[in-house]
Amino acid sequence: MILLSHPTGNANVRGVLKALESAGVLDSFYTSLGVSETETVPWWRSPFKNRRYPVPRTKLKLRPLRECTRLLASKFNWEPLTRHEIGWASIDSVYRDLDHAMSLALRRNGKQLKAVYCYEDGALETFRAARELGLRRVYDLPIAYWEAAQQLLQEEVQRLPAWASTLCGAKDSPAKLSRKAEEMELAEVVICPSQFVANSLPEQVRSSKKIAVTLFGSPTIAPAKTAADFLPGRKLRVLFAGSMSQRKGLGDLLAAMRRLNRSDVELVIMGAPQVPMEFYRKEFNEFTFEPGRPHAQVLTLMRSCDVFCLPSIFEGRALVMQEAMSQGLPLIITPNTGGADLIEEGVTGFIVPIREPDRIAERISWFADNRSSLPEMSRAAQANAGRLTWESYGQAVMNAVL
């Protein structure tokens, strides 16, 4: 039996949960807040609607206090409570609290288990306890390994100092980085969402541990766009979605739009600002801002656009790429998004190097000049996204874990 933990849950966590539960090997799932998909959620528990998990209620082990406080503090701007790493209700504290609780549970009742499955930043104490009990330790690394990531971040601080305040990871303390290193040292199996993440691992890790690349599934593929979606004379709508930071390459995209200077192209940005909006407007004023929204509405917004652009400096595998493709959007991405396998050049989109606004501008301009190619590229993007399912993701994880 396997014990799994993740403080906040997401689509890939649900994929792992469903696979483990279907195989009959899930002992329990430790998280902060959550309900079973089989439960009816009353109106007063509406915040739980995004924390529904495909497991029986009896297998959910909850630690809600810090996460509830974090959500409230974020809503009411109680910054001291959520301050990076040190706030009592910071996301780091939520991860550490759940890790500690799971380690205690292991030491009390872990002898019947076979393995633990944990995610980066929330595995250290659990892995220590699991080692004492002789349990297999599976480590899910959702983004590039910290050593490679820190190098890229520090290079960005030097290259674009004005954007440094958007790079939260560049502020990680030596203690946090040391924790990451020990988690990796204790791990026996490392789950990577892309070849980019696997390649970011130190050679010693790649040679001494089992490394598995497991590609995320895509959302349900939307009906193909119709001729009305490609009417001539309409502006080309280029979508960026994600945290409004330079880790996502937003500074390079805004620089590309300045250089492009085309009245027939509209940039749409959906995401969470990391600094006051005035900063982004000074970089490039002519974009349409869209705030975050429920997932179904995100897909609707995607469908109203023509091209998705994510020029990230580093990711793990940005699931938003497959979401955009499922709605018929070809991509402009860097190899560091973890999505190189999604691109057939000129068919499903284009890969551009990191840190090259001119190349981004060139590709956006190509789409604007070749509007007649969009219908076919839209269909090809959907077909490529459709080959990746959550069932195949879950099976790949099971093959690595068992």
What DSSP string describes 198-215?
HHHS-HHHHHHSEEEE-P
Q: Provide the whole-model pTM.
A: 0.92
Q: Would the pLDDT of 305 be above 80?
A: yes
pLDDT of residue 48: 67
In DSSP notation, 288-312 reads: EEE----HHHHHHHHHT-SEEEE--
Intervals of CATH 3.40.50.2000 along the chain: 2-217+390-401, 227-386
pLDDT band for position 42 (cuts 50, 70, 90): low
Mean pLDDT (the chain, rounded): 94
Q: How far apart are CA 70 and CA 346, in angstroms?
A: 44
Tell me the per-residue pLDDT of 195-232, one tens digit each, with 9 for 90 and over.
999 999 999 999 999 999 999 999 999 999 888 888 87
Q: Which percentage of the chain shows pLDDT scores above 90?
A: 88
Average pLDDT of span 369-379: 95
The three-state (H, E, C) secondary structure of 229-284, written as one string: HHCCCCCEEEEEECCECHHHCHHHHHHHHHHHCCCCEEEEEECCECCCHHHHHHHC
Summarize pLDDT for 155-196 with one digit per residue, the tens: 999 999 999 999 988 789 999 999 999 999 999 999 999 999
Judge whether residue 43 has pLDDT over 90. Answer: no
Query: What is the predicted pLDDT for the residue at 38?
Result: 81
CB neighbours (10 Å) of residue 57?
A: 12
CATH superfamily of 2-217+390-401: Glycogen Phosphorylase B; (3.40.50.2000)
Look at 71-80, 210-219, 282-291, 348-357 and tell me which has the smallest mean pLDDT. Answer: 71-80
Instruction: Tell me the mean pLDDT in the region 242-247.
Output: 96
Q: Give the domain 227-386 fold.
A: Rossmann fold (3.40.50)
- 24-47: average pLDDT: 82
**C-alpha distance across the termini of the chain, in Å:** 10
The one-character DSSP state at 134 is T
Structure confidence at residue 41 (pLDDT):
67
- Please give the single-letter amino acid code of residue 273: P
- Is the per-residue pLDDT at 46 higher than 80? no
User: Residue 395: enclosing H or E segment and its boundaries?
Assistant: helix 390-401
Which residues does 206 contact at the CB level (< 8 Å), separation at least 6?
198
What is the per-residue pLDDT for 110?
Answer: 84
Average pLDDT over residues 59-76: 93
Summarised one tens digit per residue, pLDDT across range 80-111 is 999 999 999 999 999 999 999 999 999 998 88
What mean pLDDT comes out for the span 23-48? 82
Q: Are the C-beta atoms of 146 and 180 separated by less than 8 Å? A: yes
Percent of the chain at pLDDT > 70 equals 98
Mean pLDDT confidence for 249-274: 96
Rg of the Cα trace of the chain? 21
pLDDT confidence of residue 323: 97
Q: Check residue 168 and give its pLDDT.
A: 85
Q: How many CB atoms lie within 10 A of CB 233?
A: 6
pLDDT of 45 above 90: no
Q: Where does 76-110 have alpha helices with state H? A: 79-82, 91-109
Task: Provide the pLDDT for residue 37.
Answer: 87
Could you identify the residue written with the tokens 């699991």?
130
